[in-house]
């Protein structure tokens, strides 16, 4: 679900950041989680879905908390070389700014 970024990166990511950078097995878990999150992305909407079936074409719920997932996507993109993950994160951030930030 939409919590995967802060659940996985907040634990395994911090294990790498604050622990041994070569912790065996942590990086693949983070990259796999990013790929799982990427499945919730819809290129027509330009965002990752918070809840619901990833194939639901009638509703697309997004909450502001999804921004917490971007660190996971950017990090996994940099480490794995998968630029699509970074593009998904940039798209989600841009669309959030367009749709959620008021002019005032």
Q: Which residues are catalytic?
A: 3, 65
* DSSP at 6: I
Contact 5, 73 (CB under 8 A): yes
What is the distance between the alpha carbons of residues 68 and 10, in angstroms, rounded to a whole number? Answer: 10
* DSSP at 48: E
């Amino acid at each position: 679900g939409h919590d995967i970024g802060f659940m996985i990166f907040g634990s395994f990511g911090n294990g790498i950041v604050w622990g041994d950078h070569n912790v065996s097995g942590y990086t693949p878990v983070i990259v796999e989680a990013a790929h799982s999150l990427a499945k919730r992305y819809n290129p027509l909407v330009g965002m990752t879905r918070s809840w619901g079936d990833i194939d639901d074409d009638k509703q697309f719920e997004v909450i502001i908390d999804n921004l917490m997932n971007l660190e996971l996507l950017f990090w996994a993109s940099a480490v794995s070389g998968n630029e699509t993950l970074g593009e998904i994160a940039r798209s989600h951030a841009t669309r959030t700014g367009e749709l959620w930030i008021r002019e005032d």
